């Protein structure tokens, strides 16, 4: 059962137009969305939620590789409103690891259901990760969901920013490091220890670092939890 509830501003259209007008005056290209999400267990608010996935690393004659990694991150909406929306902090809400691809995919689907997928339109529809690795296994996994009449749970994988660049790993490492510096923390681990532990034992191309680094880098580049002013319309998901 999902622990995420959609919360929409009571005058979504009016407040959105007000924010857009202010943004035009100030030259700001982004405005907050007129809706957000609430964790019904904790009361914590999020501007949006995103998922990431890193496949298990290559097996060789010396070892059987590093476990794959999947996580969901919330963009925290402070109740006091004392932080600019563009500078929102990121909190790891849940994470898992496995060397087995089907187990990793099953866990990612389970995490999505727990954090609002299917209950809220568009939420967590795709995870950021490598869309070309284990493509056959992913297709078979999604096909089995179809046979079980759960095609709605099919997991889509979308590449993060700069994923196909030669130095993607270095870029993603720097994104994580810049987000956990004591003087400017933006990425919080909460009670989750998988990524924290693997950062301490740092290994090149670690799937957990590729996954979270790609997500953090993309969020820093794009500010996905805000609306970019590009027209006169916007969408507010329906509430039950």
What structural domains does the chain harbor? 37-225 (3.30.420)
- pLDDT at position 118 over 60: yes
What is the average per-residue pLDDT within 151-165? 94
Strands (E), 27-141: 30-32, 35-39, 45-54, 68-76, 90-98, 126-128
**Stated pTM of the model:** 0.89
- CA gap 136, 104 in Å, rounded: 15
Of all residues in the chain, what percent are helix, strand and coil, respectively (each to 5)? 35, 20, 40
DSSP state of 51: E
Q: Which residue has the higher pLDDT, 35 or 115?
A: 115
How does residue 235 score in pLDDT terms, banded at 50, 70 and 90? very low
- pLDDT at position 192 over 90: yes
What is the average per-residue pLDDT within 44-62? 93
Question: Taking each helix axis from N to C terminus, what angle separates 135-147 and 101-114, rounded to the nearest 10 degrees?
Answer: 60
Note the pLDDT of residue 205: 93
How does residue 13 score in pLDDT terms, banded at 50, 70 and 90? low
- CA gap 37, 43 in Å, rounded: 10
How does residue 210 score in pLDDT terms, banded at 50, 70 and 90? very high
Q: Nearest CA to 53 among 128, 123, 3, 124?
A: 128
Q: Are the CB atoms for 75 and 225 separated by under 8 Å?
A: yes
- CA gap 67, 98 in Å, rounded: 5
Q: Nearest CA to 187 among 52, 31, 41, 28?
A: 52
DSSP state of 86: G
Q: Are the CB atoms for 69 and 105 separated by under 8 Å?
A: no
- pLDDT at position 94 over 80: yes
Note the pLDDT of residue 232: 44
> Which residues contact residue 24 at a Cβ distance below 8 angstroms, ignoring those fewer than 6 apart?
229
Q: Which two tokens stand for residue 10?
A: 């009571």
DSSP for 189-213, written as a single string:
-TT--HHHHHHHT--TT-HHHHHHH
Q: Nearest CA to 214 among 168, 177, 178, 180?
A: 168
Q: Are the CB atoms for 151 and 196 separated by under 8 Å?
A: no
How does residue 29 score in pLDDT terms, banded at 50, 70 and 90? confident
């Amino acid at each position: 059962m999902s622990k995420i509830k959609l919360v929409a501003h009571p005058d979504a259209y009016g407040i959105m137009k007000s924010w857009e007008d202010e943004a035009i005056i100030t030259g700001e290209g982004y405005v907050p969305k007129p809706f957000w999400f609430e964790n019904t267990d904790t009361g914590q608010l999020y501007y949006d939620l995103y998922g990431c996935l890193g496949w298990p690393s290559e097996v060789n004659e010396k070892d059987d590789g590093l476990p794959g990694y999947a996580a969901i991150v919330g963009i925290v909406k402070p109740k006091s409103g004392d932080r600019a929306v563009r500078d929102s902090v990121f909190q790891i809400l849940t994470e898992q690891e496995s060397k087995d691809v089907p187990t990793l995919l099953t866990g990612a689907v389970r995490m999505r259901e727990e954090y609002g997928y299917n209950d809220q339109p568009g939420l967590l529809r795709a995870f950021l990760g490598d869309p070309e690795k284990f493509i056959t296994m992913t297709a078979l996994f999604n096909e089995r969901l179809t046979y079980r009449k759960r095609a709605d749970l099919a997991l889509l994988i979308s590449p993060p920013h700069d994923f196909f660049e030669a130095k993607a790993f270095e870029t993603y490492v720097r994104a994580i490091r810049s987000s956990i510096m004591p003087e400017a923390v933006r990425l919080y681990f909460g009670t989750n220890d998988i990524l924290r532990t693997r950062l301490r034992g740092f290994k090149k191309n670690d799937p957990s670092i590729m996954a979270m680094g790609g997500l953090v880098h993309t969020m820093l580049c794009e500010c996905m939890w805000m609306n970019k002013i590009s027209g006169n319309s916007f969408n507010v998901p329906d509430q039950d």
